[in-house]
Amino acid sequence: MPLDHGAIGVESAPLDRSWTSKDALLYAVGVGAGVDDPLSELAFTTENTAGTPQRVLPTYAVLLAQVPGARRIGDFDPAMLVHAEQAFELHRPLPAEGSLRATAKVTGIYDKGSGALVVTESTAVDPETGERLITSRGSVFIRGEGGFGGDRGPRDEWRLPDRAPDHEVAYRTRPEQALLYRLSGDRNPLHSDPAFAARAGFDRPILHGLCTYGVAGRALLHTMAGSDPARFAAMSGRFSSPVMPGESLITSIWAEGTTALFRTAKEDGTVVIDRGRASFR
């Protein structure tokens, strides 16, 4: 059954979501906060450290703005779906606990030949005031669903700077990192079930793309925003290769005033997040 192009532009019903201090702490640990030095990121991993009020990692915004099952786009093997790109804009810092109302819509289905790229956008607002909190844009690539003769989609003019990076930040992940991260809501068996991972062509379960994204976000936050979430405005990147739990990740950052370009790679040089951009206040 082909993908349903009638889904494009149809806004979902609103989803009300709340989160607690514990949820934010679990997310921080899930993306590796404190893994190298448990005392280094206490503002994000504890709520009761003297003189250190709890803060929330900016990339948690992506999870909070998600609207699961907003609109079916057709029948396909879920093992053929991979996260392709992710971007978000944070309109104000996230509190340690709170609530929001989110809606989502498919904004495009593009023909990439070997598969289809499905692009979605979600908006999260304060349920009391309607003030926008988060704008999130993401895409998934569904192998085997291309070749329908559609538009290939817009081109990204990102260029690797012709100079050495201004910063390189290395973080390791834990062997059980995916088992920690899935507790924040993404229970896709690709990241925990060996049989499901084998159907997708992997020897073992892989790390969530958004966990890798969160690791890169930590590098950007601490390097470019002085560890202050209020200064972190936006981030985007393209997932280019899977990560296995336990692998180390190196984020290379090219600073350009209040913006930055970045790439995240494994120790062997394999790029796992490409065409990265971020902006800061």
Catalytic residues: 186, 191
CA distance 222 to 173: 17
- Specify whether the CB–CB gap between 258 and 275 falls below 8 A: no
Give strand pairing partners of 124. 102, 134
HSE of 224, CA atoms in CB hemisphere, 13 A: 34
53: exposed, middle or buried (C-beta count within 10 Å: 0-12, 13-18, 19+)?
Answer: exposed
Buried b (16+ CB within 10 A) or exposed e, 115-137: bbbbbbbbbbbebeeeeebbbbb
- N- to C-terminal Cα distance for the chain? 46
- Specify whether the CB–CB gap between 222 and 211 falls below 8 A: no
CA distances from 267 to 62, 122, 140, 208 (A): 26, 34, 26, 18
